[in-house]
Amino acid sequence: DAGVIQSPRHEVTEMGQEVTLRCKPISGHNSLFWYRQTMMRGLELLIYFNNNVPIDDSGMPEDRFSAKMPNASFSTLKIQPSEPRDSAVYFCASSLERQGYGGYTFGSGTRLTVV
């Protein structure tokens, strides 16, 4: 398995533009997570899906952020409009939930810079 695949690896965009981050989880994993990492706040959960259904989106900062998981092999995180404070590394992770929790596999992350 190629692991969790995220794209793009790096994204530089201007303030106000729409940004879409993509994630392909490990085949067979039934949970998918979007995390954001910044120097100030460390790693934070934005949203997670179980069996393609959003379970907890309490970490999504505001309405400018949205996430979808149209099928078991693909998810997107969209920021519209983007702002400089959204600059961070965004990680996607997947796991196979068994008995309530499972080990996680992280993607390589997308480093987003909004100028």
Partner 1 sequence: KNEVEQSPQNLTAQEGEFITINCSYSVGISALHWLQQHPGGGIVSLFMLSSGKKKHGRLIATINIQEKHSSLHITASHPRDSAVYICAVNRGAQKLVFGQGTRLTINP
User: How far is Cα of residue 74 from the mean position of the Cα atoms in its chain?
Assistant: 11
Query: Nearer Cβ to partner 1, position 33 or 65?
Result: 33
Q: Does 104 bind partner 1 (CB under 8 A)?
A: yes
Which has the closest alpha carbon to 13: 107, 66, 93, 88? Answer: 88
Query: Nearer Cβ to partner 1, position 79 or 93?
Result: 93
Which residue among 34, 65, 90, 91 contacts partner 1 (CB under 8 A)?
91
* Interface positions, 30-89, toward partner 1 (CB under 8 A): 31, 33, 42-45, 48, 50, 55-56, 89
Alpha helices in 8-68 (DSSP H): none
Q: How far is CA 74 from CA 4, 49, 51, 87, in A?
A: 10, 11, 12, 23
The distance between the two most distant Cα atoms of the chain, rounded to a whole number of Å, is: 44
Residues that bind partner 1 (CB under 8 A): 31, 33, 42-45, 48, 50, 55-56, 89, 91, 93, 95, 97, 100-106, 108-109, 111
